[in-house]
C-alpha cells in the first residue's frame, strides 16, 4: 500500500468508523447468527493475489458486522463496560504508527517516559496514596489486562516471600537456595474471597502455587473481612502451608462488593510477608470522584493495586493500570539482562525499563491513548462521565423497583452495576437464604448478558427492561443477571 493509497483507505475507514458510531443506536445489539457463520462467508483458502482495499472494506459490513456484539451501543448493558472513545481510537492509531518493541527505555524514550507521567497523573486523579508515585519507591505500569496484572504481582509476591524466608533461615549457598525454594514453593498458598475474579485462581495456577478461596455471604455484602483473613491464615499455617498472597477486591465481578479493607489492614500488620493486591478492575474508575476517595486512602494497605481504564474510564482496550508500592519487588522477580538487553542507560540506573515490570518483553505504546483521553476530558470531564453513569444506574434501579412484580434486586446496587433476580414464569427462583446456604446454582453459572433494546435510556428503560429481559430469561431459564450502565 502506498502512502497515497493509505490516505485514501484511512480516510474512508475513519468515515466508516464515524458512521458506525452514529448508526450504533439503531443496530441490534446482539448478533443473530449461528456458530461457524463466518466460515460460510469467507473463502476456505487465503487470497493468492493481493486485493484492493475497497474489496476488503466492503467485507467488513457484509461479513464481520453480522457477527459483532455491539459493546459500544448505548443499549448494551451486559457484563461490564468496555470503553471506546474517539481520543482512545486516535491513540491506538498513533501507537500503531509508531510501532516499536519498547522493552527498554532506550528503545524509544518517549514511550517509557509518557507512561510514567500519565500513570503518575492517574494516581493523583484516583487519589491513590503517594507511595504509588514514581518519585518514591513505587510506580505504575500499563498491563494488557487485570488478569495479567494479577499474575505479574503474584510472581513478584512469590519471589519476595521465598527470598525473605530463606534470608531469615540464613541460607546462602546457591544450590541450597534452589532446593529450599522449590520445596517452599509447593507449600505457598494464594487466597482471596470466593467472589474474587477468576484471574486470582488462574494467577496461582500460572505461578505454580496453591489457591484457597474464602466463602463470603450476602448478609455481609459479600465482603471479605479481616477476621476471615486471620482465620484462613491461621488454618493454613497450622497445616504447614505458607500463605503468601492475598487478593482483595474493590468491586467484585458478580455484585461489585468491596472487601472490608479497614479490618483486613489491621490483620495485615501481623503478616508483613503476605503480599496484598487490590483488584479494582471495574470500580477503580469511580475513584475519580471525591465521595469514593475514602477507598483510595485505604490502599495504604496493599502492595499493589490495579484498575482498568478500558472498562469504565473512556480508554480503549487495553489499558490496565497497575501500581506497586515497591517497584524493586517487581524488578527483583522479573529482571533478566542478557547482553543483548544491556545498554549504558540501563546500567546507569537512571531510567525505567518496563520489561522488568511485566511478563512479556515487548510492549505497545499504550500510554498515548491514556494521555489523549486525560487531556481531552480533563479531570472534571472524567468526574462528569462517572457521575452521569451513576445517575443512570440510579434511574435504572428505580425503574426495576417499580416492577417488583417481575424483578427483585439481589444485592444493593453498587457503582453502575445492578444485580437482579427474575421471577421466571415456569420455575421458582432460589430464595436469597438458599443462595447464602450455598445454593447449587452459583452466580457465575447464572449470569445472563443482556442488551436492552431501548432508544433512550432515560425514558424507555422500564418498558424495555421488562420486555427484553423477561423474554431472554424465559428462554434461557436463568435467574440472575447483571446490568451495568455503559452508555448513554
Ligand atoms: N477483576 C475484576 C474485578 C473483573 O470484574 C474483571 C472482569 O470483569 C477482571 C478482573 C478481568 O479483567 P481483564 O479482562 O482485564 O483481565
All structural domains of the chain, each given as residue ranges with its CATH number in brackets, are 1-65 (1.20.1340.10), 96-373 (3.40.640.10), 378-484 (no CATH)
* β-pair partners for 212: 191
| Ligand 1 midpoint to CA 320 (Å) | 10
SS3 288: helix
Q: Determine the atom of ligand 1 nearest the C-alpha atom of 318.
A: 15
pLDDT for res 79: 76
The CB-side HSE value for 81 (13 A sphere, CA atoms) comes to: 33
Strands (E), 316-382: 320-324
| Ligand 1 midpoint to CA 197 (Å) | 6
| Ligand 1 midpoint to CA 281 (Å) | 5
Q: What residue's CA is closest to ligand 1, atom 5?
A: 253
Q: Are 189 and 243 spatial neighbours (Cβ–Cβ below 8 Å)?
A: yes
Tell which residue, 117, 149, 131, has the closest CA to residue 299.
131
Q: What is the DSSP letter of 250?
A: B
| Ligand 1 midpoint to CA 146 (Å) | 5
| Ligand 1 midpoint to CA 417 (Å) | 14
* β-pair partners for 421: 408, 480
Q: Are 315 and 370 spatial neighbours (Cβ–Cβ below 8 Å)?
A: yes
Q: Determine the atom of ligand 1 nearest the C-alpha atom of 148.
A: 16
393-431 residue pLDDT tens: 888 788 778 777 767 787 778 898 888 766 554 444 444
Q: Determine the atom of ligand 1 nearest the C-alpha atom of 145.
A: 15
Among 144, 153, 199, 223, residue to substitute to test ligand 1 (most atoms within 8 Å of Cβ)? 199
Q: Are 283 and 249 spatial neighbours (Cβ–Cβ below 8 Å)?
A: no
pLDDT for res 471: 45
| Ligand 1 midpoint to CA 152 (Å) | 14
pLDDT for res 478: 37
Q: Are 321 and 83 spatial neighbours (Cβ–Cβ below 8 Å)?
A: no
Q: Residues of the chain whose pLDDT is less than 70? A: 406, 421-488
Q: Determine the atom of ligand 1 nearest the C-alpha atom of 144.
A: 15
pLDDT for res 302: 98
Among 201, 254, 281, 322, residue to substitute to test ligand 1 (most atoms within 8 Å of Cβ)? 281
Q: Determine the atom of ligand 1 nearest the C-alpha atom of 253.
A: 5
Distances from the Cα of 305 to the Cαs of 182, 326, 342, 464, in angstroms? 28, 12, 30, 38
The residues lining ligand 1, judged by C-beta closer than 6 Å to any ligand atom, are 80, 145-147, 197, 199, 249, 251-253, 279, 281-282, 308, 320
Q: Determine the atom of ligand 1 nearest the C-alpha atom of 308.
A: 15
pLDDT for res 484: 53
Q: Name residues whose C-beta falls within 8 Å of residue 384's C-beta, 6 or more positions apart in sequence.
A: none
Instruction: Look at strands 320-324 and 407-409 and give their pairing.
Output: unpaired
How many Cβ atoms are within 10 Å of 172's Cβ, its own excluded?
9
| Ligand 1 midpoint to CA 285 (Å) | 13
Residue given cell 507521567 in the structure block: 117
Centroid of chain to Cα 242: 28
Radius of gyration of the chain (CA): 24
**Residue 191 main-chain phi, psi, to 5 deg:** -145, 160
Amino acid at each position: 500500500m502506498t502512502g497515497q493509497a493509505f490516505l485514501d483507505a484511512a480516510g474512508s475507514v475513519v468515515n466508516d468508523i464515524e458512521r458506525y458510531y452514529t448508526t450504533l443506536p439503531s443496530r441490534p445489539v446482539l448478533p443473530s447468527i449461528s456458530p461457524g457463520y463466518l466460515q460460510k462467508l469467507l473463502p476456505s483458502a487465503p487470497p493468492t493475489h493481493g486485493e484492493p482495499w475497497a474489496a476488503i472494506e466492503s467485507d467488513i459490513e457484509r461479513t464481520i458486522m453480522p457477527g459483532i456484539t455491539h459493546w459500544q451501543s448505548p443499549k448494551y448493558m451486559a457484563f461490564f463496560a468496555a470503553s471506546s472513545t474517539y481520543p482512545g481510537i486516535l491513540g491506538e492509531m498513533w501507537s500503531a504508527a509508531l510501532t516499536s518493541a519498547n522493552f527498554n527505555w532506550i528503545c524509544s524514550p518517549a514511550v517509557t517516559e509518557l507512561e510514567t507521567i500519565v500513570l503518575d497523573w492517574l494516581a493523583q486523579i484516583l487519589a491513590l496514596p503517594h507511595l504509588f508515585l514514581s518519585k518514591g519507591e513505587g510506580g505504575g505500569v500499563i498491563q494488557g489486562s487485570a488478569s495479567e496484572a494479577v499474575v505479574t504481582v503474584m510472581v513478584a509476591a512469590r519471589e519476595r516471600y521465598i527470598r525473605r524466608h530463606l534470608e531469615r533461615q540464613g541460607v546462602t549457598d546457591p544450590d541450597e537456595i534452589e532446593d529450599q525454594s522449590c520445596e517452599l514453593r509447593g507449600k505457598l498458598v494464594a487466597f482471596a474471597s470466593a467472589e474474587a475474579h477468576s484471574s486470582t485462581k488462574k494467577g496461582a495456577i500460572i505461578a505454580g502455587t496453591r489457591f484457597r478461596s474464602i466463602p463470603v455471604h450476602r448478609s455481609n455484602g459479600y465482603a471479605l473481612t479481616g477476621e476471615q483473613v486471620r482465620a484462613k491464615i491461621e488454618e493454613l499455617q497450622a497445616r504447614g502451608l505458607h500463605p503468601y498472597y492475598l487478593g482483595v477486591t474493590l468491586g467484585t465481578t458478580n455484585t461489585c462488593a468491596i472487601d472490608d479493607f479497614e479490618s483486613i489492614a489491621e490483620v495485615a500488620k501481623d503478616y508483613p510477608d503476605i503480599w496484598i493486591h487490590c483488584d479494582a478492575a471495574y470500580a477503580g474508575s469511580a475513584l475519580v470522584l471525591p465521595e469514593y476517595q475514602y477507598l483510595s486512602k485505604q490502599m495504604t494497605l496493599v502492595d499493589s493495586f490495579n484498575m482498568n481504564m478500558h472498562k469504565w474510564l473512556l480508554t480503549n482496550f487495553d489499558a490496565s493500570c497497575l501500581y506497586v508500592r515497591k517497584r524493586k519487588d517487581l524488578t527483583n522477580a522479573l529482571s533478566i539482562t542478557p547482553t543483548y538487553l544491556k545498554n549504558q542507560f540501563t546500567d546507569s540506573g537512571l531510567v525505567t525499563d518496563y520489561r522488568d515490570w511485566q511478563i512479556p518483553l515487548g510492549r505497545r505504546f499504550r500510554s498515548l491513548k491514556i494521555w489523549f483521553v486525560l487531556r481531552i476530558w480533563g479531570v472534571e470531564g472524567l468526574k462528569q462521565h462517572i457521575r452521569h453513569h451513576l445517575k443512570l444506574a440510579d434511574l435504572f434501579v428505580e425503574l426495576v423497583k417499580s416492577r417488583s412484580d417481575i424483578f427483585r434486586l439481589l444485592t444493593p446496587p453498587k457503582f453502575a452495576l445492578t444485580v437482579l433476580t427474575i421471577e421466571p414464569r415456569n420455575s421458582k427462583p432460589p430464595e436469597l437464604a438458599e443462595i447464602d446456604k450455598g445454593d447449587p446454582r452459583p452466580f457465575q453459572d447464572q449470569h445472563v448478558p443482556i442488551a436492552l433494546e431501548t432508544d433512550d435510556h432515560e425514558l424507555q428503560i422500564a418498558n424495555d427492561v421488562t420486555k427484553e429481559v423477561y423474554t431472554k430469561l424465559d428462554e434461557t431459564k436463568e435467574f440472575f443477571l447483571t446490568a451495568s450502565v455503559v452508555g448513554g
